[in-house]
Copies of this chain bind each other. A is one copy, B any other.
Amino acid sequence: MTPQSRADDLQKLRGLVKDIDFCMLTTVDETGHLHSRPMSSNGDIDPDGSLWFFTSASSHKVDEIAKLPKVSVSFADPDNQRYVSISGTAQLVRDRKKIDELWRPEFKMWFPNGKDDPDVALSRVSTEQAEYWDSPASTIGYVLNFVSSLVSGKEADLGENRKVQF
Residues of chain A having any CB pair with chain B under 8 Å: 20-24, 26, 28, 32-40, 53-56, 58-61, 68, 70-72, 74, 76-79, 81, 83, 85, 87, 107, 109-111, 128-129, 131, 133, 136-137, 139, 141, 156-157, 160, 163-166
Contacts and interface: CB of A to CB of B under 8 A. Distances in A.
Contact of A71 (B34, B55, B83): B34
This chain's copy number in the assembly: 2
B165 A37 contact: yes
Contacts of A60: 156-157, 160
Nearest to A135: B38
* Top 10 A-B residue pairs of the complex, sorted by shortest distance between their CB atoms: A34-B72, A110-B166, A36-B85, A38-B83, A60-B160, A76-B76, A24-B74, A36-B74, A56-B164, A26-B26
Contacts of A83: 22, 24, 37-38
Nearest to A85: B36
Nearest to A83: B38
A28 B34 contact: yes
A163 B79 contact: no
A21 to B, nearest CB: 7
B137 A85 contact: no
B34 A166 contact: no
Contacts of A72: 26, 34-36, 72
Contacts of A55: 164, 166
A37 B163 contact: no
Contacts of A20: 78
A163 B56 contact: yes
A54 B165 CA distance: 10
